[in-house]
Amino acid sequence: MPDLFSPYTLKSVTVRNRIAMSPMTMYRSTDGQVSDFHLMLLGSRAAGGFGLVFAEQIAIQPDGRTSMGCAGLWDDAQMDGLSRIVRLVKHMGAVPAIQLGHTGRRGSENKPWQGRTQLPPSDPDGWQVRGPSPIPHGRRYTLPVQELSVGDIRDIMRAYADAARRAAECGFEWLEMHFAHGYLGSSFFSPLGNQRTDQYGGSRDKRLRFHREALDAVREVWPSQLPLTVRLGSDDFNENGIRFDDAIWAIAELKKHGLDFADISLGLNTDDMKDVPFDQVGFMVERAARVRREAAVPVGVSWNLGIPAAADRVIREELADIVSNPHWPFWAAQELAHSDPVSLLPEDWGWWLRNRPGPEGSIGWPPVASRTGR
């Protein structure tokens, strides 16, 4: 019977345990290039015992970033910094993983601690956001969205392939394509973001065409012996959006196109969500377990899995194959009753933990009652 600390093998890659360092946008890049900060962060997580270590979402095109401070791999000049990270992560005994994506209509943002507003193309740090249809995401994402042409989509497929080739040359051993969280892939699959009438919109099958073609493009250049995975937005928690049965069907379809593993997350294609169980420990686990059973694809899962016993149960009961949580060291400060554990962290990192509370008893970020200044 596997447990949280059992090795896990997928294709030719063996991860030393079932714990993954989640991709986290850090807003510390210049011209899409990672820095010594990223080397420190990811190397220390590998040294700290994580089995699978992801860099933040890496943009495949300049307008695929969340902000001007985010990393990319659309240019060969961006490879050196990522290659250094790969070498250090491997030296520390972990598997280096990369997540490729495009933010679509949720891009062109300010840094969160600077207001997290969407910036217009006229701003020096902004650009024209693009998506499957000219529909803004809503709430703070209100700027006009340029609809992608079929030619634009083909350019994006080439960008996925080019970034995947560079990732392989950097030495990454695990590649995840980000199709969740309201970003471009997620918005293509959701009727909330995709109201096209051509071959990329309309029926559920047509809305998944973007994902199939992107996976096919990457499969052509990514080494066949290495895992090729996706993070899928599995539920919009909105009656007009993606529903969970759609996600099970989608993963089974993508398996036909070479998918090796699925990370099950949220759609987040709208802020108008109902009955999202954010306050429940491991609330995505049962959904991931259904994908694992019904689509016969190995799965990873995150969201409120900081309690070690809860994470271990997920593995022991074979509900998922890998769990993700980036903040376990922070837990020690909480357990030792430090007056303000978040104050131990850099301002940008601490901002997330103060503003994204977990359920009572969660490990990884503070529950509502312990947030300061709220």
Residues annotated as part of the active site? 183
**N-term to C-term CA, the chain:** 44
Provide the β-strand partners of residue 233: 265
- Alpha helix positions (H), the chain: 36-47, 79-91, 150-170, 184-189, 204-207, 209-221, 244-255, 285-294, 308-316, 328-335, 347-355
Strands 299-301 and 13-15: unpaired
Q: How far is CA 114 from CA 32, 67, 76, 344, 367, in A?
A: 19, 12, 30, 20, 23
DSSP letters of 60-106?
A: SSGGGSSSTTS-B-SSGGGHHHHHHHHHHHHHTTPEEEEEEE--GGG
Provide the β-strand partners of residue 21: 53
Residues constituting the chain: 374
